[in-house]
Amino acid sequence: MRGTWTCPSCGRGRRGRFCPHCGEERLRPRDLTLGDLAIRLAENVSSIDGKLFRSFRSILTAPGALTAAHVSGQRRRFIGPLALFFIANGVFVLLQSLLGVHTLSSPLDSHLHQQDWGAFAQTLVDHRLRATGETLAAYAAVFDDAVMFNARALMILMVAAFVPLPLLLFHDRHRGAGVHVVFALHLYVFVLALACAALLLAEGQLLLGGGGLRAPAVDLTLSIFNLAACAIYIYLALGPVYQSSGAPRVAKAVALAVAVGAIFVGYRFAIFAITLFTT
């Protein structure tokens, strides 16, 4: 694009694509056409200065590199760890909604009859129903709506539950607490990406005539796959982040991966308890 143009924001004559005074962009010849809008959307999605794709690519292809870069101060080229976690969380929630699957928000009937804490859950629910005079059916409808919202909104609790573990395992490294928080946030971005992949694999198996996540064999297979992938990710990440090596690195990676699985199960119970005492 040649020639001068007048910046619509500051009213000054300019020659380049952007106004050096206020940053306004020169209008394109096909401004506001559908094609132009599509081009701008693609630029914005792939942009955020390229930070979004660059950050996710680093998480998926170079475990620990993004955490190490953030800790060392290399932050301008990447999305911040908390923002990246919430974006991954949003994608996970959206995918669940599209597929009609709710892996973390079991209905009340499931908590009462299918979960390991069923007997304890029945005791708590019976006590609540006696105190309020509600019927189980009436309360179940309220509970099921609330538990779905809570499970989606409170996933940051899993990160908070995980943070003390690397803090304990790597206390001799004398790293600030923020290092462990960043490591946990990036790890759970990977965990959410794994969960999305598992949902898509289960949906594919369902479309091929299988049982999907409702089939115990599929659920168990995906759970083992996710746990193994998580252990491998943690093992690879411990080197760049904590300079861990040798047999201790393997042992700590396995311990942290098992902890991720335990926290996942514990989160479901925590959501049950939170929903029970807030509805």
Query: Rounded distance, CA 143 to CA 139, Å?
Result: 6
Give the pLDDT score at 261.
92
Sort 177 into a burial class: Cβ within 10 Å, 0-12 / 13-18 / 19+. exposed
At residue 277, the pLDDT reads 92
**Other beta carbons within 10 Å of 163:** 17
3-state secondary structure of 80: coil
pLDDT at 77: 84
pLDDT at res. 5:
76
Please state, in angstroms and rounded to a whole number, the distance separating the CA atoms of residues 135 and 9.
62
106: burial class by Cβ within 10 Å (0-12, 13-18, 19+)? buried
Low-confidence ranges of the chain (pLDDT < 50): 1
Spatial contact of 253 and 231, defined as CB atoms under 8 Å apart? yes
Predicted local distance difference test score (pLDDT) of residue 66: 95
